[in-house]
Amino acid sequence: MKNKLLSICLISFVSFTLLAQDSDADSSAREEKIKSGFSLGGVPVVAYDSDIGFKYGALVNLYWFGDGSRYPMYDHSVYIEWSRTTKGNGINQITYDTDKLIPGIRSFFEASYLTEKALDFYGFNGYQAIYDSDYEADVDQHGDANRLYYRHARQLVRLKADFQGEIFGQKLRWLGGIAYYGNSIDSVDVDGLNEGKEEDLLSHNSLYGNYVDWGLIPGDQANGGGHTLLKAGLVYDTRDNEPNPFTGIWSELQLHYAPSFLSSTDYSYTRLVLTHRQYFTLIPEWMNLAYRLSYQGKLTGEMPFYMLPYIFQTAPKLTRDGVGGAKTVRGVLRNRIVGDGFVFGNVELRGKILRTTVLNQNFYIALSAFVDAGMVTQKYKFDTSGLPGNLPDYLPAGIIDLDAKEVPHLGFGGGIHFVINHNFIVTVDYGMAAKKDDGDSGLYINLNFLF
């Protein structure tokens, strides 16, 4: 998040084995231990933002490795996250991933309730949407800060069930699933965020509010809606392991159908998702190179504006918001690249600098360097007839440039990764935007490698 962000990120590992088969105290620190039974990892995170408040919470990931014969693959994984900020943001999430529940089928379930007091919103179609960082850093005519101008509020209920099964062994698989997205959209609750402040008050100016007032966002979309997605596709997977592959490819094709009869609105559409990832060994067990290319675009129908940003990927990876930010183009603002269709790509060099055991757990640290890019390839059509010819003085000098040429939005940077038993991975990435029009930089603390 770009603003006056003060964050303290306390990353600690609480990892232990509740039921384990090996306990050889004389093993070399570098010897890889085959895990069995339970393994539990947890990360507490503490952060502070003057607009959103103090963030606190924790996440845990419980693995059951069974007899260890498939390690580092697990039989069952349960992920739970609970976090809050003192002014309303929240993550309430549980996922379950297993290939033992239904014989021969990989199953993934998710139940999430996510609240965002200030979700990024910059408009549509990449560089056609003008981002004015100087305006964002300035104050309005009343002396109130504009730094939440490019934001709106969202509450999201996401329920998901995904399944994969073999066609030709594990290499070629079918996928199917159903997901529900319940979006509740509104302006930022500025009065609530200003509560208790005597200075540094936030302005009520809002790009989202302007879009609604001018009819750029239709009235029947302005407050969100609920949509059920039916998914089908294929996965081709030759990776040597899932958490951090050193060789192989992982490609997927997904078709999404969001019928109006399973929605709270009249909108219905289909969407295509194509993603290819490939991995190369540079130094066996120590250094690898990975890249990812993805296209996601509308095939038919009309997508409401609030469904445009979502990034879809094969379970157990979670759906993410927009192109830009932690999981797509690091350094570029989240949701900066929004349209009916878009592409994005990443190239990442990864190298382990330490491999050892800690408290009888396999542990390694890796560094990474990356270059990311994304751009809109299919423009979102919306009515601009209500856009004022001359913007009021209290708004940015520009909102939309319909003649702007769309070119790749670039980000680059590096990261550090702390890994327990190959599967529990805490990643700290720092990315920088190549252009001021896309933001400045971002610090991201997440679980797992990017892809």
Q: How confident is the model at residue 49 (pLDDT cuts 50, 70, 90)?
A: low
Residue 158 in this model has a pLDDT that exceeds 90? yes
Averaged pLDDT score across all residues of the chain = 89
- Cα first-last separation, the chain: 22
- Of 451, 445, 113, 427, the closest CA to residue 314 belongs to 451
CATH C-level class of 5-22+32-447: mainly beta
| 331-384 pLDDT, tens digit each | 999 999 999 999 999 999 999 999 999 888 899 999 999 999 999 999 999 999
Residue type, 393: D
Break the chain down into helix, strand, coil percent, rounded to 5: 5, 50, 45
For residue 449, what are its two tokens?
């490698």
Helix, strand, or coil here: 5? strand
| 74-122 pLDDT, tens digit each | 999 999 999 998 877 899 999 999 999 999 999 999 999 999 999 999 9
Q: What pLDDT does 31 receive?
A: 61
Q: Cα 444 to chain center, whole Å?
A: 10
Residues 6+ apart with CB under 8 A from 414: 367, 368, 369, 370, 429, 430
DSSP lists the bridge partners of residue 301 as 269
DSSP per position, 221-269: TTTEEEEEEEEEEEEEE--S-SSS-SSEEEEEEEEEEE-GGGSSSS--E
